[in-house]
Structure 1
Amino acid sequence: MTGTGSTRPTPGSPHPSPGSPLRVGLIGYGLAGSVFHAPLIAATEGFVLDTVVTSNPERQAQARAEFGDALRCAASADELWDRADELDLIVIASPNKTHVSLATAALKAGLPAVVDKPIAGTAAEARELAALADERGLLLSVFQNRRWDNDFRTLRKLLDDGGLGDVWRFESRFERWRPRPKGGWRESGDPQEIGGLLYDLGSHVVDQALVLFGPAVSVYAESDVRRPGAEADDDTFIAVTHANGVRSHLYVSATTAQLGPRFRVLGSEAGYVKYGLDPQEAALRDGKRPATHTPWGVEDEAMWGRVGSGESPLTGGGSPAPTLPGDYPAYYAAVAAALRGEGRNPVSAHEAAAALDVLEAARRSARDGVTVTL
């Protein structure tokens, strides 16, 4: 790298120098940046949160209050490209419509990048970004943090152990009760904003289904705008048929007055039913931070799911299945390892493109009333 005494390589070098801190520039300090990315970056061994990009003076003050006056704040991402030789990673946590342009700029500046989900509005754009990263030999990773939810980690273990037998049906719900829209770009009806629940929470439930059960071969969806004054989909159902025969039924909604189970997984030997959300988001929102040797992502035993057959878990059927702790910090630890050449990219842009194939098919299915073959 340029600069007197610097031990970090020039942008685009395969791996940072051993032992040197990895300096991170974070673009965006709204919900995603302030609640998820900044705390997790700061908690990752070997990472230093160097710069936060936000033009909002209040958010700049908020960032400095939490991470110290040594934190740099910039009003524009252009300031990062001008200092590319001082950084090792760019994290993009800005509104969805900016993801492609900012990721492209980062890669062209020779900087690896993490992009919040969805990485793009279309699978084609995601694959173009993946090709650019591959061409430049740079890491491009997608923040699919729900792969490290407590219930998802537990379900993966149950599947690996084989106790459910052959899975026939997977039900996944990410439901909320928000009868009045909150406003903002996430609920905008402007297609350029890439808002609505299909691309927001849908990005999570589709990604999880593909990780668990592999490629999709057909997609059917129903998508509605239910609430008065709402502009984007707020109640969506996606049915995915996987190549291995598993059927995934995925629900994302802001209009659910009675919440269903987060997971209901039905197999040839037993089923698994789990209620409630992973506690990590609530903890981060409350200002709690992951720390070494301190329990993180642990839920009360009363919230454990149950494994059994022949009777509802709500009437005592089955046996409690201990929930593994949630582990969002593992994502950035894996990114750090990948940057140092010591591990693989935890979520590639190619994987994100496969999920976008399903989301695009779901949008078409809901619009045209057809089942879409992939």
Structure 2
Amino acid sequence: MSAITIKVILLITLPVSLALQTRPEDAKLNFTELGAKYGHPVEEYDVVTEDGYILTLFHIPGEIEGPVLLMHGIADSADTFIIRGNLSLVITLADKGYDVWAGNTRGNKYGRRHKYLNPDTDKEFWDFSFHEAGFYDLTATVDYVLESTGEESIRTIGHSQGTTAHFVLLSTRPEYNEKIKGFIALAPVAFLNNVIPPVSTVTKVGPVINAFLKSLGIEELLRDHSAARELIELICSQGIISYALCYILAVSPFAGFDPKRIESDFWEVITGHYPAATSRKSLVHFDQVALGRRFANYEYGPSENFRRYKLLRAPSYNLGEITTKVTLVVGQNDALSRVKDVDILRSLLPGDPKYHLMEPALWNHLDFVWANDMDKYLYPYIFSSLEEFEFE
């Protein structure tokens, strides 16, 4: 590398690095450090999946019997449940004495390890979607928690893709319906039949975007500490103007407009943790769900489908296999988990799942993990559901 090249790189990266140093402290702390800051020492464990991925699992021990496992959404990590500090779901659960576990799925900053594959050099590492998040990652995580605690069953809370992973697991491995005694689905995603612009617009051009990324050999998206990721963080963490540009104009249209609950100061904390990377294939699979108007396995094309599934078309997930007690919690203003789509899911789940429509009319997709008034509107319902699962 020439001296001129080095100077150019320094001229670009040094201002970014210096600017990022001015972020709020919570934007720079990891899950374990945030737990310690807010009064709860965190234990870390390695969970190894059947197909060799190594995932970090966080644990805050509690006195209330029965573990509670949290699973995050797409391009996210366990951090999402703790970055609100004392108001976060993790700290609130821990303060109340719950035995809290927070999992991670492959590909994010806590899931970039594998027994044999290198995420930086092996494209095979990124050959996964939400199917693997449920079939392998959630499976291994649930088993690890049960083995560690000696319990026979667990209560779980998922957000966005964290709910999708549950629906995959419980429908493809029915035996896990006995291991998960109750599941709270925040902003559940299984069907995307009723999304509206700009989400629907992006899904329609999804195949073109996918072809472009594939032509460039891009399998990992928004890698943590990458130049692109740090540039996004820099642009979106510089006060009220960045907040207006990144959250109100760029993010809200895809999540639901509700600036009251995610203020500009906290937005700077969010950008230190999100996005946390995902695979190209993960976005493609959700795009297939939207365009195909069904909750189905990954579509590889007729010949590969037949090899994998013995069918020419990827099979739908059999939601009728799910017997776990499910609670669906929905936002009226959620642009990704639309009320009408959750109604489709609800009609296909056996046993008349519990259903709760959030009171604030503007409650959106991100408010379930980051709203500044979760304690008032969301947590009472979460705790009542957890207690019902415990005593059923």
TM-score (norm 2): 0.29
Higher helix share: 2
Question: Higher strand proportion, which one?
Answer: 1
